Amino acid sequence: MKTIHDIRPRAETAAAYRSQGVWRDLTALDDLQRWLEETPDSTAIFAHRAGADPLRVTYAQFAGAVERFAAGLAELGVGPGQVVAIQLPNWWQTSALMLACIRVGAVMAPIMTTIRARELERVLVRLEVTVCVTTDRWDGYEHAAALSEMSSRLPDLKHRVVLGEKIADDEVDFVTHFENTAWEERHPMPLALADEDPDRPVLVLFTSGTSGEPKGVLHSFNTLYASCSAVVPLERIGPGETVFIPLPLTHIFGTLCGMLMPLFGGAAWVLLDVWSPESALAIMTDARVTIFEASPAFVSALVAAAADGPVDLPDLRFMVCGGATIPAKLVADVDRVFGVTLRALWGMTECSWSTWTRVDDPADEALRSDGRPVPGVELDLRAESEISRERPARLFIRGAGLGLATLGRDGGELRVLAEHDDGWYDTGDLAIPDGRGGIRVVGRDADRIGGGWIIPVNDVESELLAHPAVADVALVGYLDDDGFELACAVIVPVAAPPTLAELRTYLDSRGMTGWYQPSRVEIVAELPRNASRKVLKEQLRRWLREN
């Protein structure tokens, strides 16, 4: 039976993308080796960790850490055909460990620290994870203890590695094993000898996607490189540039924009483990940040923190927003406060970023567009009638940046994306043409809620239906006062209606991740349904907007 480690693109597909220049025969390990040779003393990472002094990591130091961490993984028995899960904050070790996984031939599975035990266990089981690296405690949650509790139910898990202060006897101390033990003689892993396949799966990230079951998306170095192959030269991202993306490294845009993109160009990247807009502004000055990329919520927070603006950031060239609808006011605010253009992009875990507004676009293009497709990417707007804002089309995508396959978290279905619909992937987003060869995303189908983090709607509904006070439920998206989408549980109660606090306490007891949970509850006598008994969620969304 085919596994995630067996997936490869068709030879003719790989050859075509290489001829277009959007795929290559190199990997990020080759990029790291290049900058180790050409600019060893230049900064790779500006690391900012709460309660500690800022740390500057040079390319020589970073490359050395990747080699040592790779040797440490080999000592734990990690090699080709295995998956290493990484659930760590934005620490410098996270970047080095991710590349170290690839150096030993394994697949890295980054998992955000906000993911709780219920979802974590299902991912670890499905991927047959052999090593899981986590922290002892983060943001009030006992990560190492949660992993320990489920370990007896994880037959493939051989080692629990903990980066923190509290290390149990049956856990591997990250600092001792990876940082303080020199494995170079026992397990030499010099980058110069790396012979990595750029077309094999190297990354698996889980997302709720467009269906009820969360799924893992498999990417190769080349599907990730496709997003950067045009943007890095187009935006002149190279040595001397500093890129700051506050999203987690364990999120697709954190992995790509916050590490791989600057690494491709030999630039530096900024890591901040505890988000604070005030701290971020100070860091942008101290690190001489040239590019800031984030979801609209982060940029809005920066604008609010600079209430007395404008802010003098002479090195900042532009900001980029993606992952959610950009409020119109934010475009003007960024220009007013920071004196730079706010660019827009569109993407998702399945296809990284696929559109990008360009240098030669009007300064306010983000008001009207999410950008034109990057080279190697095709978009298809499918509709049964003329496309308009009132009747948007469904957005399909195919091309060099599309993941290799998806893996059902619960059912285990391995779906090679190139083998379906001639390679076209249904994004679940609704879009219209922007008039300049690009798109404007104006909505999504009924079963997608969220911006940068997508909520698995069916999964949450199933848990809520198990609550004794809930007879029927529909989870529906609504916009908060800042224009960001959250989840509302529309409930038909059994008797006395449950409160929001009661529902969240119940979901917490089930181990459900906090940001999956509803932040609003509405009570109705019955849910609107069509003749086939499907809930009319668009009708519910309109009702929420009016109430």
pLDDT at 390: 77
Q: Which CATH architecture has domain 456-546?
A: 2-Layer Sandwich (3.30)
Of the pLDDT bands very low, low, confident and very high (cuts 50, 70, 90), residue 498 is: very high
Of the pLDDT bands very low, low, confident and very high (cuts 50, 70, 90), residue 533 is: low
Of the pLDDT bands very low, low, confident and very high (cuts 50, 70, 90), residue 485 is: confident
pLDDT at 516: 87
pLDDT at 36: 98
Residue of 480 and 354 predicted with greater confidence = 354
CA 275, 214, 5, 28 dihedral sign is negative
pLDDT at 530: 66
User: Is 101 in a helix, a strand, or coil?
Assistant: helix
pLDDT at 174: 98
Whether 458 shows a pLDDT value over 80: the answer reads no
pLDDT at 448: 67
pLDDT at 524: 93
The stretch 100-122 carries a mean pLDDT of 95
Give the count of beta carbons closer than 10 Å to the beta carbon of residue 189: 20
Q: What is the mean pLDDT of the chain?
A: 92
pLDDT at 452: 59
What is the token pair recorded at 159? 């080692």
Whether pTM > 0.85 for this model: the answer is: yes
* pLDDT, tens digit (0-9, with 9 covering 90-100), for 208-258: 655 557 899 999 999 999 988 888 988 999 999 999 999 999 999 999 999
pLDDT at 311: 85
pLDDT at 341: 95
* pLDDT, tens digit (0-9, with 9 covering 90-100), for 398-433: 999 999 999 999 889 999 999 999 999 999 888 999
Of the candidates 497, 500, 477, 480, the one whose C-alpha atom is nearest the C-alpha of residue 488 is 477
The stretch 192-218 carries a mean pLDDT of 87
Distance from C-alpha of 219 to C-alpha of 209, rounded to nearest angstrom: 15
pLDDT at 105: 97
* pLDDT, tens digit (0-9, with 9 covering 90-100), for 217-226: 999 999 999 9
Cβ(281)–Cβ(308) under 8 Å? no
pLDDT at 471: 86
Whether 446 shows a pLDDT value over 60: the answer reads no
The stretch 324-339 carries a mean pLDDT of 86
Instruction: Please give the backbone phi and psi of residue 98, each rounded to the nearest 5 degrees, phi first.
Output: -60, -45
Burial class from Cβ neighbours inside 10 Å (0-12, 13-18, 19+) for residue 480 reads: exposed
Whether 316 shows a pLDDT value over 90: the answer reads yes
Residue of 392 and 74 predicted with greater confidence = 74
Query: Which positions ≥6 away from 360 have C-beta within 8 Å?
Result: none
pLDDT at 1: 76
pLDDT at 539: 84
Cβ(41)–Cβ(63) under 8 Å? no
Task: Report how far apart the first and last C-alpha atoms of the chain are (Å, whole number).
Answer: 52
Of the pLDDT bands very low, low, confident and very high (cuts 50, 70, 90), residue 457 is: confident
pLDDT at 511: 87
Whether 380 shows a pLDDT value over 80: the answer reads yes
User: Is 487 in a helix, a strand, or coil?
Assistant: strand
The stretch 320-328 carries a mean pLDDT of 79
What is the token pair recorded at 220? 């190769």
Burial class from Cβ neighbours inside 10 Å (0-12, 13-18, 19+) for residue 53 reads: exposed
Of the pLDDT bands very low, low, confident and very high (cuts 50, 70, 90), residue 312 is: confident
Domain boundaries, the chain: 456-546
Give the count of beta carbons closer than 10 Å to the beta carbon of residue 241: 21
The stretch 29-34 carries a mean pLDDT of 98
Whether 531 shows a pLDDT value over 70: the answer reads no
Whether 81 shows a pLDDT value over 90: the answer reads yes
The stretch 19-48 carries a mean pLDDT of 97
Question: DSSP assignment of 66-81, as one string?
Answer: HHHHHHHHHHTT--TT
What torsion do the CA atoms of 260, 263, 268, 274 make, to the nearest 10 degrees?
A: 20
pLDDT at 322: 84
The stretch 109-138 carries a mean pLDDT of 96
Question: DSSP assignment of 346-383, as one string?
Answer: EEETTTEEEEE--TTS-TTGGGT-S-EEPTTEEEEEE-
pLDDT at 295: 85
Alpha carbon 239 to its chain's center = 25
What is the token pair recorded at 459? 């999964």
The stretch 287-292 carries a mean pLDDT of 96
pLDDT at 324: 67
pLDDT at 82: 97
Whether 132 shows a pLDDT value over 90: the answer reads yes
Whether 444 shows a pLDDT value over 80: the answer reads no
| Percentage of the chain exceeding pLDDT 90 | 73
Among 132-136, 175-179, 268-272, 484-488, the minimum mean pLDDT is found in 484-488
Contacts 24+ apart (CB under 8 A), 149-158: 149/117, 150/117, 150/120, 150/121, 150/124, 153/121, 153/125, 154/121, 154/124, 154/125, 154/129, 156/128, 156/129, 156/130, 157/124, 157/129, 157/130, 157/131, 157/132, 158/76, 158/77, 158/130, 158/131
What is the token pair recorded at 120? 């974590």
Cβ(294)–Cβ(247) under 8 Å? yes
Whether 372 shows a pLDDT value over 70: the answer reads yes
Whether 532 shows a pLDDT value over 60: the answer reads no
Of the pLDDT bands very low, low, confident and very high (cuts 50, 70, 90), residue 441 is: confident
Distance from C-alpha of 506 to C-alpha of 529, rounded to nearest angstrom: 27
